[in-house]
Chains A and B, each alone.
Chain A
């Protein structure tokens, strides 16, 4: 997959890297068990600090998206991801709150927010190659 970060963004770079990889998994661009570049290789290609990439990988490991093995390096979790349970849904709802709150402040209706939601969801579907 093409991993993209924005150096000018307010979002920390390690978060951007982690989010970009999760997007890649959602889109099917990163397959289960697929190897990711080593910390050094990715840091060199992106031109960012090694710690930044390491932090991103640790974050992904914590969330269960990757495994870090001594031999194979960093790989996308080869097993099924856990299904979304109540706890997960509640956490996601919590994370959506500020986003929807901001949208309401800007005068967006529920219909408009829904539309935006569909659009983003659509953009995360596997692309036709």
Chain B
């Protein structure tokens, strides 16, 4: 057991809880990636699957944390630790995924034997609200200007005070705040975190656009209400994204200026964990409060009534209920089915290019800096 373990457990527990409760956060019309009519999710068959998934996720989570206590010893090297962490986390993800897949396949087969199946599956109707994109679904991109200003100021300040930086720059810290890698000073290395900030801002802006551009989803039993909730959902997440992005930029800028600030490594670690904690808590709070697509919101406006429409379930395009693959659909971004947030249309080459671009933006600095 190491100090790092305590910190990681602080991060893992909320994440495990969030995974376990995912079926409660998804839309009322989605059960393990399968479209079902409103109300069916509460029926005993699916309710049992949800309960089983939740218990298994929690059980595996407890095993995960126990494994961390047993397998990760303080006397082991940093490298041993990171290997163990990867092994433990990856096996947790694989196992919970398998639990999901079992439920997904069983519910998919079960759906075809239900009396309501014929009508829902035979419909290939697509319904859209023409006014949806006139609504304010996200904040303006102008809100990312402060991020850019902060990075620009940090770059300017660092260049002006270049000679105050030490000859050896710390590049990597372990969980106790000790420097594990340092490089010689140069303009490029002094500004490392600025470049990374710019990369992060690009990723945040792409995420912002994915919220603004993703396909609208109409729930067949409540077309107007579901879209109203969706506007609140998208708007809230775009606000959160801008705030989270700003905090990340602040963190990186402080990191870049840390040799000049003469703060203790402890102070810095506190700031790191405070910011990570705020972002983590914020995203959990939003997920739980709003639910996927805004499905956990109560509508204030019920005048429109619940005139229902027939809508195609699109199940055939959702591989394993997780991957949306539709070559005929020009959409790049789509709302996830199982989980909270957005995903891409794997049938669209542009979506692949954007994903590869984001990976490159994040990985190239990680490998070369």
Residues of A within 8 A of B (CB): 1-8, 21, 24, 30, 35-38, 40-50, 129
Contact = CB atoms under 8 A, between A and B. Distances in A.
A42 B125 contact: no
A47 B331 CA distance: 7
Interface of B: 124-134, 213, 215-216, 218, 223, 303-304, 309, 312, 314, 326, 328-332
A1 B128 CA distance: 8
Contact of B330 (A2, A30, A36, A50): A50
Q: Is the interface of B mostly helix, strand, loop or mixed?
A: loop
A42 B126 CA distance: 11
For the residues of A in contact with B, the DSSP-based class is mixed
A30 B131 CA distance: 9
Nearest to A35: B134
14 contacts: A1-B131, A2-B128, A2-B223, A4-B309, A5-B126, A6-B126, A30-B130, A38-B133, A42-B128, A44-B213, A44-B332, A45-B132, A47-B331, A129-B304
Given A2-B309, A44-B215, A49 B130 contact: no
Contact of B127 (A4, A8, A44): A4
Contact of A8 (B124, B216, B330): B124
A84 to B, nearest CB: 25
Given A2-B223, A44-B215, A7 B312 contact: yes
B124 A47 contact: no
Contacts of B218: 2
A24 B124 contact: no
Contacts of B133: 37-38, 41
B130 A43 contact: no
Interface centre among B129, B133, B309, B326 (most CB of A within 10 A): B133
A129 to B, nearest CB: 7
B130 A5 contact: no
Contacts of B314: 47
Contacts of A43: 330
Nearest to B330: A43
Contact of A46 (B128, B131, B134, B304): B128
A37 B312 CA distance: 21
- Nearest first, the 8 A-B pairs at minimum CB distance are A47-B329, A7-B124, A45-B128, A8-B124, A44-B331, A4-B127, A41-B133, A45-B216
A5 B213 CA distance: 21
Tell which of B126, B128, B326 has the most Cβ of chain A within 10 Å. B128
A44 to B, nearest CB: 4
A36 B126 contact: no
Given A41-B133, A48-B328, A3 B128 contact: yes
A47 B130 contact: no
Contact of B129 (A1, A6, A21): A1
A46 B215 CA distance: 8
A24 B314 CA distance: 25
A47 B125 contact: no
Contacts of B332: 44
A38 B213 CA distance: 12
A43 B133 CA distance: 12
Nearest to A29: B130
A84 B151 CA distance: 63
Given A2-B127, A38-B133, A48-B126, 20 more contacts: A1-B130, A3-B128, A5-B126, A6-B124, A6-B125, A37-B130, A37-B133, A40-B330, A42-B128, A43-B330, A44-B213, A44-B332, A45-B128, A45-B132, A47-B314, A47-B330, A47-B331, A48-B329, A48-B330, A50-B330
Contacts of B328: 47-49
A47 B215 contact: yes
Contact of A24 (B130, B304, B330, B331): B130
Contact of A3 (B130, B134, B215): B130
